[in-house]
Amino acid sequence: MACEKCGHVQEGLKEKFGTKLCSLCNHLSPSEEKDFNEYVSEKIDGSLIETFRKHFHPGEKQKQGMVKKAIKGYPMSRMPFGYLLEKGSLIPAQNSKEIEEIFEEFLNEKISLRTLAERHNLSINGLKKVLRNFTYIGKIKFNNQIYEGEHKPLVSTTLFNHVQNKLEALNIK
Ligand SMILES: [Zn+2]
């Protein structure tokens, strides 16, 4: 049987207000019937929350809060530049090579953020977000915790770390 919210297949789905949910969706569901129906009508792609399902253990109150936040913030928000969504997974987009270029250029060239941003059609803030985004090394960050993602990294950890050091050295906030 598949969860009616996320499609996750699990033995022994929980039934609530006549709807069958997996344990994760059930845990996150509101207790009021009206809110509950709205919640169920907003379908999510179960594979997108696989990463969070792994970290979900009923009974650990703090973690549950984090998982809840993560699910709200992560899967349905805008895809990071360089990736696209296919069958519920982040996969490298056609422009994925450009991400590595941006990291390399920032690290190796004497170039202002403005010039680099313009070269890649980004805003300065957008560029800073790219340079700091843990998604590009295959991880997912939320609540200041870093988790292994399920997606392919676009830059090496070494390159990423060098860029973080340079951002810090230049006092770029
Ligand atoms: Zn579910």
- Centre of ligand 1 from the C-alpha of residue 43, in Å: 9
Tens of pLDDT, residues 140-173: 765 456 777 778 899 999 999 999 999 999 998 8
- Centre of ligand 1 from the C-alpha of residue 47, in Å: 10
Which residues, at least 6 apart from 8, have a Cβ–Cβ distance to it below 8 Å? Answer: 2, 22, 24, 25, 46, 53
2 and 50 fall within a common domain: yes
Can you give the pLDDT at residue 77?
A: 44
Q: How much is the pTM?
A: 0.61
- Centre of ligand 1 from the C-alpha of residue 51, in Å: 13
As beta bridge partners, residue 15 has 20
Q: Which helix (H) or strand (E) holds 90?
A: strand 89-92
58 and 23 fall within a common domain: yes
CA-based nearest residue to 79, from 135, 127, 144, 149: 135
CA distances from 41 to 13, 17, 34, 132 (A): 17, 13, 11, 34
105 and 70 fall within a common domain: no
Q: Write down the mean pLDDT value for the chain.
A: 83
Domain with 61 in it: 1-77
- Centre of ligand 1 from the C-alpha of residue 158, in Å: 37
State which of 24-28, 76-80, 102-106 shows the largest mean pLDDT. 102-106
- Centre of ligand 1 from the C-alpha of residue 88, in Å: 14
Q: Which residues of 121-133 are buried (b: 16+ CB within 10 A; e: fewer)?
A: ebeeeebbebbeb
Residue 82 counted as domain residue = no
- Centre of ligand 1 from the C-alpha of residue 166, in Å: 42
Residue 66 counted as domain residue = yes
Residue 88 counted as domain residue = no
- Centre of ligand 1 from the C-alpha of residue 46, in Å: 6
100 and 170 fall within a common domain: yes
Residue 39 counted as domain residue = yes
- Centre of ligand 1 from the C-alpha of residue 92, in Å: 26
Can you give the pLDDT at residue 160?
A: 97
